[in-house]
Structure 1
Amino acid sequence: MLVSLEMNNKDPAYDYFLTWMAAQSSRTQAGQAPWSSLFRSSTPWMRSHQLGVQTLQEQRKNGSASVMFKLVAAPGTHLLRYNSVWMQVRRERETKAPNLMTGTPWETITVTTLSRDRGIFPQLLSEARDLAMRGQEGKLVINIPWGLEWKPFGQPRRKRPIKSVVLSEGVAEKIEADVQAFLQRRQWYADRGIPYRRGYLLHGPPGSGKSSFIQALAGALNYDICVLNLSERGLADDKLIHLLANTPERSFVLIEDIDAAFNKRVQTSADGYQSSVTFSGFLNALDGVASGEERIIFMTTNHPEVLDPALIRPGRVDLSVLIDDASPKQVRSLFERFYGKDDVAESAGGVVGKERSETKEWDRIPEAILRQLANEIELAVEEEAKAGRRISMAALQGLLIRSNAHEAVRDIGTLFVSRAPTS
């Protein structure tokens, strides 16, 4: 007798199993794939030519795009040998009755084997789950909209230590403490009938570290990031409300350059394309009747003065924080992190320290010389600031990456630009 196991694309096991199948299909006879030791069978499972491709595309506001491809088993019948048990895997797609919410077709995977071997199913599913989860363990997952759903974009990224993002004194601690307090007050919000959501606005000049800090904070809290581009073609009010109401658990929603999203309350992209998202629709998605709860939104802007007061009122933006150009103390701190003790590298498992030790010009310099050079670079920034000239953290980091300590002090003057202080 035969026994069959069915999975549909509404269940997480469906994606786990597809990921596992893709890993199986990429194995070689020599077992060169890094996950080959997970499997006990000695030969690749799939001989079929029925392959499909999943394309993940991220469209940016400047018109550029990033595209990722993933090969998976296409609809059809495949044979699988797992732990000496032969199975038939059939993937079916129903195109005549798509999911009305997402517009995607319903799909099922049916795995069939002998009834005596039914005990292999829990083992296979556990291995598929572990493989899918192992790729994300200790890493940051970036999600983007895919229809009406959130899908991971690219491979999970290594988390960035929060100490590696140097902000003005007390700024990082203020934001992190506020997020931590919010996460610990779920019942407090419920008892008072307050929607459990929080909004943050990080504003400041370009290259000051706004997005970098959000990424590092998400990693520190074991959160993922859902990147929402309001200029995306096909995005309308109803789709936006659905996406914000159905964000994955333990995720930040990140909306960058919110000042560029709406021009006279009509959202227009750089190439003139006018989105279907309206300003009122966006506000309703943030805190309207149909908006979701248990959500943390981060918005960034270079020009807070142009934002509509309706957008940044309390309840939509609960905490607004300036992330400014580099102060003299910031410059000194980043300088010492680059050329002094590798405390950030040690907290990240020593990876950065190993890379630096392999390059002679990156060897740490004596403490006395480090202090002297740090004093010089801090004084240089102070003098330029008095003349109204400032330096971004991004420009400073670029200089430190390509220079040794002495060269950085020598060339720091080439990076300053005239810019009025941000209030």
Structure 2
Amino acid sequence: MLSDLVATLSSNPYFGAGAGLIGIGTALAVLRRSSQYGLIFFRRQFMITLEVPNNDISYTWLLQWISHQLRDSSRHFSARTTLVKNDEPSSRIQASYTFVPSVGTHYFRYKGKFVKVERTREQMINSGVPFESVQLTAFGQDRQIYIDMLEKARDAALLANEGKTLVYVPTINEWHLFGRPRRKRPLNSVILNKGVLEGLIKDVEHFLSNPQWYIDRGIPYRRGYLLHGPPGSGKTSAIMALAGHFDLSISTLNLSQGTMTDDRLQQLLSNVPEESIILLEDIDAATVGRHYEKEDNIRYQGMKPLTLSGLLNALDGVISAEGRIIFMTTNFIERLDPALIRPGRVDHKEYIGPLTSNQVERMLTRFYPQSTHNEINQFLTQIEQLTDNYSKQLSAAQLQGFFMHNKDSIKDVFANVNQLLCL
């Protein structure tokens, strides 16, 4: 009975055609699914992939390095334009163009292997900042190939920034390089009172070279400094010179801005770039006088502003990171809460005051190396008389500005010395 039914159906041309189509479709579906699983199996067993998002510090390094590998093979790049000025006095500002791989797919060869590069970009709805990533794919299972690439990219970036100081600023909860790397400020360009800069150098050097000393004694491995004194005395300049001397970058935070909250500060201090000085300028403005205009109240509605408790916990609380150097500056140390500058949070306080006669002499000889002993004594006498007559103290910024106004000749300095306190 069953054999008769099968014979009848097989002899039916309509059923035979339908069964054939179903069979072909089934076979194609099985083949397609098998090829997909086969491709997945092949990628997992014989290929290795690395993804680097744009919030990783190596993202920019890797893009620059890849662009160098693609310089002869790829024809699709994105341009990054910056304005630069050479060191020559007569040079003009020029545009500098850097090319990085554009969004899409690229290929290059590295150590005998073909590497596929996929750069993607997605628009972020909330922040408006696009999220980007670079994905590298190569044959093999050894991840060392990517470690080598990242190391080479890092070395190339460090070589390009050699002799320069990097400055980072926060955007939302991440750090980004601010502008172009700056020339390192030489120590001899910062003229502080005798022994001040030397003491800071010695203290920072001991901290950086003796982490085990802190570990053995159970002391948190972090160091806090407070530079206080009148405006223009050289506090920030000293920090820039120290960063250059120890090959450190600077991560600067503005605690008085309306968008700074306890949570945001903790997040930023937990992911500060490595080998970086954290700079908190005008720390007295962090938790006092935080008055917002009417439109600011609307803009920051729902945001809890930074509190003193949040600042203290971020500096040396349970969640605070180790291996940090924090420099705080203020013009008004009397406004600071004692809890903020107690030992443990601030380990080294240094007063950077008005110019002394020793500083005036050193600044004069730096700007006018050919000045004679008599000219130096004459200028020191004039400065002393001037400050006594007006009952004012002189800052390094004022004297530097005065020298810059009269840089052509030391004779102009003596002729216009009465204008010094007007700057």
CA contact (8 A) 2:123 2:131 kept: yes
Q: How does 1:220-369 map to 2 (within 5 A)?
A: 220-232=245-257, 234-263=259-288, 276-340=305-369, 365=370, 369=371
CA contact (8 A) 1:338 1:400 kept: yes
* Secondary structure in structure 1 of the residue aligned to 2:133: strand
CA contact (8 A) 1:198 1:295 kept: yes
Amino acid paired to 2:207: F
What is the Cα deviation at residue 417 of structure 1?
6.4
Give the distance between the partners of 1:48 and 1:196, measured in 2 at CA: 47
Give the distance between the partners of 1:371 and 1:86, measured in 2 at CA: 70
The two structures have a TM-score, normalised by structure 1, of 0.71
Q: Which residue of 1 aligns with 2:224?
A: 199
CA contact (8 A) 1:235 1:276 kept: yes
For residues 286 and 338 of structure 1, do their structure 2 counterparts lie closer, same or farther at Cα, with a shift above 3 Å needed?
Answer: same
| 1:188 equivalenced with 2:217 (yes/no) | no
| 1:392 equivalenced with 2:392 (yes/no) | no
For residues 122 and 176 of structure 1, do their structure 2 counterparts lie closer, same or farther at Cα, with a shift above 3 Å needed?
Answer: closer
For residues 86 and 289 of structure 1, do their structure 2 counterparts lie closer, same or farther at Cα, with a shift above 3 Å needed?
Answer: closer
For residues 15 and 142 of structure 1, do their structure 2 counterparts lie closer, same or farther at Cα, with a shift above 3 Å needed?
Answer: same
> What is the CA deviation profile of residues 203-228 of structure 1, one whole-angstrom value per residue up to 9, with x for unaligned ones?
11111111001000111112111111
Q: Which residue of 1 aligns with 2:6?
A: none
What is the Cα deviation at residue 80 of structure 1?
4.8
Q: Which has the larger radius of gyration?
A: 2
RMSD of aligned C-alpha atoms? Answer: 3.8
Give the distance between the partners of 1:316 and 1:124, measured in 2 at CA: 40
What is the Cα deviation at residue 119 of structure 1?
11
Amino acid paired to 2:418: G
Is 12-21 or 208-217 further displaced after alignment?
Answer: 12-21
Gaps of 5+ in 2: 1-41, 83-95
CA contact (8 A) 1:200 1:318 kept: yes
What is the Cα deviation at residue 132 of structure 1?
1.5
Q: How does 1:202-217 map to 2 (within 5 A)?
A: 202-217=227-242
| 1:90 equivalenced with 2:106 (yes/no) | no
What is the Cα deviation at residue 93 of structure 1?
5.1
Is 131-140 or 291-300 further displaced after alignment?
Answer: 131-140
CA contact (8 A) 2:256 2:285 kept: no
For residues 6 and 205 of structure 1, do their structure 2 counterparts lie closer, same or farther at Cα, with a shift above 3 Å needed?
Answer: same
For residues 189 and 104 of structure 1, do their structure 2 counterparts lie closer, same or farther at Cα, with a shift above 3 Å needed?
Answer: farther
Q: How does 1:376-387 map to 2 (within 5 A)?
A: 376-387=378-389
Q: Which residue of 1 aligns with 2:414?
A: 409
Give the distance between the partners of 2:265 and 2:293, measured in 1 at CA: 16
* Secondary structure in structure 2 of the residue aligned to 1:389: coil
Amino acid paired to 1:19: Q
Q: Which residue of 2 aligns with 1:109?
A: 135
- How many residue pairs match? The answer is 353
Higher helix share: 2
CA contact (8 A) 1:261 1:269 kept: no
What is the Cα deviation at residue 316 of structure 1?
1.4
> What is the CA deviation profile of residues 68-118 of structure 1, one whole-angstrom value per residue up to 9, with x for unaligned ones?
99874343223557899976421235779x9xxxx9857342245x88xx9
For residues 313 and 119 of structure 1, do their structure 2 counterparts lie closer, same or farther at Cα, with a shift above 3 Å needed?
Answer: closer
For residues 168 and 107 of structure 1, do their structure 2 counterparts lie closer, same or farther at Cα, with a shift above 3 Å needed?
Answer: same
> What is the CA deviation profile of residues 228-251 of structure 1, one whole-angstrom value per residue up to 9, with x for unaligned ones?
111345432122112223322321
- Give 1:375's match in structure 2, choosing from 371, 377, 380: 377
For residues 148 and 92 of structure 1, do their structure 2 counterparts lie closer, same or farther at Cα, with a shift above 3 Å needed?
Answer: same
Amino acid paired to 2:158: M
What is the Cα deviation at residue 174 of structure 1?
1.9
Give the distance between the partners of 2:120 and 2:169, measured in 1 at CA: 26
Q: Which residue of 2 aligns with 1:75?
A: 103
Q: How high is the sequence identity, in percent, across the aligned residues?
A: 41
